[in-house]
Chain A
């Protein structure tokens, strides 16, 4: 086992809201297998993720630093689903610049349209093909701060 490189300060942190344990495990494993060493934190619904972001806002204080976050939101979650979470993030001036990737089990054109209208950066259907996914992130410039082994 190789020792992972030290995590540089300001490195992008990946927050995942996903209620399904299996999906969450597969996503995290897929990201790790693609060489992504960033911190990954998983939440079981949108509500928990927003609570975490609120706490970050309190401790970090400035809006700039909250940009070092990438969000992956599942669409179907109990309590607060991905679309509602996306909406709230885009309504909050301190959070709205955080890039958000929506994850879904379908590619329903209306759902895709709604998420893009709300301001998501990318919409990905499960199962995620990680080679394509990571390439797309690079093209979108979303992973510039990510260290790959």
Chain B
């Protein structure tokens, strides 16, 4: 009798259970981020003055972080491709590169927040900044979670084990990238 977890051996409706679970996670995350961003858009539409608050955020830092996340998504999908070919070590290397992208993103974010907080723009300054820190903070937590997950997936992938996990963690990472694709214009560009 197999001792492998169901996530790798069972396939419901022709999707491995592990991947199906990730899709469900993503589906629930759509509602979480969707609700938050939907609320932001509602308030933004009725508060023209928020444009002046948004002008404080650093567009170049946001753009650089978008580039970083898009590039890390590329390395994540290339890791998936390597895993499909059975090249575990290469997949692990690419996942490490993706983790580095996440780290770069967080460092840039830390500099941004430090600057903004030092200038008095805090979580409680007004509704714009409450949304800004909540949305970017929640997204940042997802980046950290993705990095931790990828670290463990890369460890097993380097041994050519459980290579299907590379795709699963990649799906999650692409979703985190997609959320930022919407946060960038909402928080940095709409001025």
Do the two shown chains form a genuine complex with each other? no
